[in-house]
Structure 1
């Protein structure tokens, strides 16, 4: 099927990020790796391009590299218990649920049922054919609501030390942890978050996992999305670093930390069953305007997949994220240099014959202000740069095209640099209507949408004084469609 036939040539359609063929998409769900395939399930209403919450399904796509995706029919549909809201999936290697019926291991999804009366419960479905078809568990729900509003988004993991499953669940303004020997019967273990973190809105989509700190020591990370209350307005994802003792999670810091400081990365969670890597994907939008962005046939896309790691800065541990290396297979090299001497400004698009509507740019610059300006001949432009005086990275989309659909959209968004001094490392991914900025090996990340009326054709990089960019590399990106 050609790109034209499926509609992936539409205005603003991303060319190397996953978006559904048509209709509405939000949170990534059920992300699990099994038998050489990455499964991406997602919140999906198959018949409308705005969220029809009573008709919410799990959409489904598969990939062998997290880059090239094949969209499959919706996997899990609403039933008498309610719509299918966010959740997770695991591989039941030990057949703890007793549902395996063939040579393939059973994939089990745990998700939120959201009925018309608003009393949310947790349900289960299983697949014995590598995720192609799903059967609802006959005794659903497996975890019933005790009368609490906003009781949702289960993320399940296997805890090897105690040989049992754990679930993190978002409960209004905090996270609750449950354990189970078989994914069917759950016991509450503990709570986290009532008096720590950002509380400007409802907590959603928690995720708890371990990471090595680079010296062989293990730390635990809790992700929690919040809406509203993000650092640049609307929805965003915060994180906590600490310890999990098999009963409760305890954070080691009290300051608020954001996984992504831009306005358009929400509900990100990690893939289960991936060895030696912790891989994350987020929904690239914001609830302040997601339902009215100027795309018609479809609404919603995912960020590029990102690999998480822990980094140490001035004695403090932080979570960093960078694009997965698999994205480099999309590079079409146009301009590669070990160093680029810059007197004041240069149009990289013209110099290296790059189409700046989709590219991957990397460089290291001295600790000084710089600015990238993406523009078209209609007078529209997007600004990305670093303000040395305020020690802030910024993305300014106020004049980058369509903004009138929402008062919350046309803003200049900022993020403080964490590192105190030294060179600044930049990785920038642009794809038609999205920009993802990774600084200092992923210590600070910003993701933002924008909607120019025509593609950007110029990419001007400027500094206040003469400098040399080290490790300069720019690549046009192939389309995955």
Structure 2
């Protein structure tokens, strides 16, 4: 996330906040807190950082501004199952070199850094320092790369005494290192955002870095600076082929309210140890909603899994939303998603699904009968649990589709969010223009669409609803939408709808997702 905009956003928080009492079904500050997504106990949360698995624990760090502070830290939480998170003390604090911006954490199994030992390998956090003093003095060299390490499983962190390990070479936007151990070369490999490109570096010890190459000129979306890269090899499902995947987040600085305000694109190609090459011509998005940004994956995850987590909010309106709705906390993480690679004819695409661990949250379930739907079908009447805390699985026939069909989440106050498919456009969409009880930001209300999708077989919808957010996985798990909302009372009504025809529901279920909060 572009941090200067974040600070501007925070400064615009309304002091005359709308007051919600929590009485008569209305939602108060804690009522908007996600029940099965990670959110900070208090303060501001944005980019996930330092995602790593070590010795039975998943570590989730994140950009964090504690209440009463004005500078970025690394917040920290741990989990054994990717579901239930324990808040930990702040991992990294700002110091004389600057604020602690985004980065990653790796396990130095072979103690290449010499900062630990063979029997006790260090966790190494690689992050960006942002020097506010230099910025105020007009110096563009505000950002440099540094490391810290832990010898007690991430409980405490020691900053390297020779930081920065990569000084700024004279680039204004120079941040967000993502490092992996490259088995091809037996060296550390770093992807680093540098203005409108990604620069690659390598190191034998994670302390001394050598520049390799860059990628990005004329590739993908360049509506704003590139940020928060991730770079990793991934096997293609059903084959012995391996490709390299590059994730890059981008901020749109235009004044239009389109879906590119904050988004993460991805590239699939090849890496020869020095250069990344990619011949795709389409710009591919990991999420088409308004609230999925700065997503990266866990290092060292078991079974070589690529588990992705992003910030589920936007710098465009996040500060204002906190001032009006959530008050003492802000932001959440997307539900962890597993990334895999598929090949359809000559095209490679990411397959994106909620992690399999989600079954650990399953509660009661309602099965849906086959139905030919015209108009609306209320399915929340069948539930014996909260409709706004559930997983929907719906299988529709692709034959004789209506002009539009989909799912609507709503309350009795005239507020709703509509998730649909438009046959004429051949696109999935999310309509969030009526999803709040208070019109707090002119660009929050939005209509978002996916890339074109031509359904040739049964169409499977998977939707996670969590109090004030929805995540939709459709289009053979290649199209995802993530959106937050702030209704005046809970969206406790779920309807399947059609316009201009009928749709055949072949099967379906709605499953309760239990709260992770204590």
The normalised TM-score by structure 1 is: 0.94
Q: Deviations over 1:150-173 (max 9, x none)?
A: 100000000112110011000011
Between stretches 276-285 and 9-18, larger displacement belongs to: 9-18
Pick closer, same or farther for the CA change 1:9–1:479 going to 2, 3 Å: farther
Which residue matches 1:36?
56
Which residue matches 2:79?
63
Shift of 1:467: 4.6
8 Å CA contact 1:31–1:270 kept in 2: the answer is yes
Which residue matches 1:236?
263
Matches within 5 A, 1:381-396: 381-396=416-431
Q: Tell me, which stretches of 5 or more residues in structure 2 are unaligned?
A: 1-21, 136-141
Which residue matches 1:144?
167
Which residue matches 1:363?
394
3-state SS of paired residue (2:508): strand
2:147 counterpart of 1:124: yes
3-state SS of paired residue (1:291): helix
Q: Deviations over 1:399-446 (max 9, x none)?
A: 122452211101111113434522211000010110101003311111
**Which of residues 290, 295, 303 is equivalent to 1:268?**
295
Alignment RMSD, CA only? 1.9
**Which of residues 425, 429, 444 is equivalent to 2:479?**
444
2:358 counterpart of 1:342: no
**Which of residues 214, 219, 226 is equivalent to 2:250?**
226
Determine the C-alpha separation between the residues in 2 that align with 1:233 and 1:288: 11
Determine the C-alpha separation between the residues in 2 that align with 1:66 and 1:390: 37
Determine the C-alpha separation between the residues in 2 that align with 1:391 and 1:355: 32
Which residue matches 1:217?
241
Determine the C-alpha separation between the residues in 1 that align with 2:468 and 2:489: 10
Pick closer, same or farther for the CA change 1:271–1:477 going to 2, 3 Å: same
Q: Deviations over 1:184-203 (max 9, x none)?
A: 00010000002111000010
Determine the C-alpha separation between the residues in 2 that align with 1:105 and 1:42: 23
Determine the C-alpha separation between the residues in 1 that align with 2:78 and 2:515: 17
Q: Tell me, which stretches of 5 or more residues in structure 1 are unaligned?
A: none
2:324 counterpart of 1:289: no
3-state SS of paired residue (1:398): strand
Shift of 1:252: 2.5
Give the 4+ runs in structure 1 shifted more than 4 A.
464-467
Which residue matches 2:227?
204
Q: Deviations over 1:191-235 (max 9, x none)?
A: 000211100001000111011111110000000000117961411
Determine the C-alpha separation between the residues in 2 that align with 1:180 and 1:187: 6
3-state SS of paired residue (2:87): strand
Which residue matches 2:346?
315
3-state SS of paired residue (1:328): helix
8 Å CA contact 2:29–2:326 kept in 1: the answer is no
Shift of 1:286: 1.5
Determine the C-alpha separation between the residues in 2 that align with 1:412 and 1:270: 28
**Which of residues 102, 105, 119 is equivalent to 1:86?**
102
Which residue matches 1:96?
112
Determine the C-alpha separation between the residues in 2 that align with 1:151 and 1:260: 24
8 Å CA contact 1:102–1:128 kept in 2: the answer is no
Determine the C-alpha separation between the residues in 2 that align with 1:333 and 1:251: 46
Shift of 1:466: 4.9
Determine the C-alpha separation between the residues in 1 that align with 2:329 and 2:344: 41
Which residue matches 2:272?
245
8 Å CA contact 2:145–2:166 kept in 1: the answer is yes
2:512 counterpart of 1:476: yes
Shift of 1:314: 4.0
**Which of residues 136, 157, 160 is equivalent to 2:180?**
157
3-state SS of paired residue (1:326): helix
Pick closer, same or farther for the CA change 1:177–1:403 going to 2, 3 Å: farther
Shift of 1:396: 1.1
Between stretches 275-284 and 21-30, larger displacement belongs to: 275-284
8 Å CA contact 1:126–1:135 kept in 2: the answer is yes
Higher relative contact order (CA 8 A, sep 6+): 2
Which residue matches 1:378?
413
**Which of residues 202, 205, 217 is equivalent to 1:194?**
217
8 Å CA contact 1:289–1:409 kept in 2: the answer is yes
Determine the C-alpha separation between the residues in 2 that align with 1:240 and 1:463: 35
8 Å CA contact 1:113–1:122 kept in 2: the answer is yes
Determine the C-alpha separation between the residues in 1 that align with 2:123 and 2:476: 34
The normalised TM-score by structure 2 is: 0.88
Pick closer, same or farther for the CA change 1:393–1:467 going to 2, 3 Å: closer
Determine the C-alpha separation between the residues in 2 that align with 1:420 and 1:375: 27
